[in-house]
């Protein structure tokens, strides 16, 4: 594995994160592909596929999977920041600024720098999301766009969520409430992954009695066979073709905006 360098802008680092999740995740994982395709559809429906052509910041970028998807799939330029140095050493996103940066530091050099922020599967790891969102907005230009994804349905919260460092799962209304409290104007919130709800519910029961957290992450996220990935990919294609706004799902996507100055 190549060890990549990154800029150190903050002294703070996050508590240890299960590195096995990084070992099992990649751009080819069916769930990561599904998330991106659901996001692409959300952008299309809101007329935003071509709009964020300037510069964005992936807050909680980890190994850079989302950065590279947005770069290769949409042609966007996305820098990244995180507090996990282990993840950042694995972030090989080309032509991007990669930073060990705590948004609560509100660095003057990053004030109102970016046209959009990406926070995919980050808020569920934050004990108090509203102050975190407020701090992240420091780096966003007035009128800039915020893109968010979080796990959905509190009833699906399981040992997998605990092992992955999650504090909660969301409903659409709960996510919208947090965003509005942080001063973000909601454009749309949307569930995706309707076909995965039953799978996540079954996972909750399957991993209940596993002995180690490492096995929880592995069994809960890594497909046991390539054929399983093929089946899930087919489910993704069918669901996205037939149902762009399912009544519920295993995750929630949201688009919002930072108010323009003077509002």
pLDDT tens column, 175-225: 999 999 999 999 999 999 999 999 999 999 989 888 677 789 888 888 878
Q: Which of 83, 68, 65, 61 is nearest to 17 (CA)?
A: 83
Q: Is the pLDDT of residue 20 over 80?
A: no
Backbone angles phi, psi at 193, to 5 degrees: 80, 40
Q: Is the pLDDT of residue 2 over 60?
A: no
Q: Give the pLDDT of residue 25.
A: 87
Model pLDDT for residues 66-93, shown as the tens digit of each residue: 999 999 999 999 999 999 999 999 999 9
Residues counted in the chain: 263
pLDDT of 130 reads 98
CA 189 to chain centre: 14
How high is the pLDDT of residue 52? 66
User: What per-residue confidence (pLDDT) applies to 263?
Assistant: 60
Q: Where are the domains of the chain?
A: 7-257
pLDDT, residue 24, reads 84
Q: How many CB atoms lie within 10 A of CB 137?
A: 21
Q: Take residue 119 and report the two structure tokens written for it.
A: 């926070």
What pLDDT does 224 receive? 75
Task: Kindly report the average pLDDT of the chain as a whole number.
Answer: 92
| Three-point CA angle 227, 231, 235, nearest 5° | 165
* 172 sits in which H/E element: helix 172-181
Whether 18 shows a pLDDT value over 80: the answer reads: no
> What pLDDT, on the 0 to 100 scale, is given for residue 3?
62
Residue 243 has pLDDT above 60, yes or no: yes
Cβ-Cβ contacts under 8 Å for 150 (sequence gap 6 or more): 121, 122, 123, 124, 169, 170, 175, 251, 252, 254
In this prediction, residue 262 has a pLDDT band, given cuts at 50, 70 and 90, of low
* Topology at the third CATH level for domain 7-257: Rossmann fold (3.40.50)
pLDDT exceeds 70 at position 118: yes
Q: Would the pLDDT of 252 be above 80? A: yes
Distance CA 238, CA 236 (A): 6
């Amino acid at each position: 594995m190549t060890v990549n360098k990154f800029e150190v802008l903050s002294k703070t680092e996050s508590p240890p994160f299960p590195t096995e999740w990084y070992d099992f995740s990649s751009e080819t994982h069916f769930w990561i592909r599904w998330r991106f395709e659901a996001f692409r559809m959300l952008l299309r429906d809101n007329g935003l596929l071509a709009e964020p052509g300037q510069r964005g910041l992936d807050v909680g970028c980890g190994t850079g999977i989302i950065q590279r998807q947005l770069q290769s799939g949409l042609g966007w330029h996305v820098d990244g920041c995180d507090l996990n140095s282990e993840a950042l050493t694995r972030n090989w996103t080309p032509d991007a600024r990669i930073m060990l940066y705590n948004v609560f530091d509100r660095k003057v050099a990053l004030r109102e720098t970016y046209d959009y922020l990406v926070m995919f599967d980050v808020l569920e790891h934050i004990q108090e999301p509203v102050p975190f969102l407020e701090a992240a907005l420091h780096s966003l230009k007035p009128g800039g766009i915020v893109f968010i994804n979080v796990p959905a349905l509190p009833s699906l919260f399981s040992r997998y969520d605990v092992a992955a460092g999650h504090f909660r799962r969301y409903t659409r209304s709960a996510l919208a409430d947090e965003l509005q409290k942080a001063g973000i104007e909601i454009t749309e919130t949307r569930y995706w992954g309707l076909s995965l709800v039953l799978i996540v519910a079954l996972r909750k029961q399957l991993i209940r009695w596993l002995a180690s957290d490492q096995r929880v992450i592995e069994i809960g996220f890594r497909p046991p066979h390539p054929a399983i990935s093929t089946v899930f990919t087919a489910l993704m294609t069918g669901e996205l073709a037939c149902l762009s706004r399912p009544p519920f799902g295993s995750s929630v996507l949201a688009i919002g905006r930072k108010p323009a100055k003077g509002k």
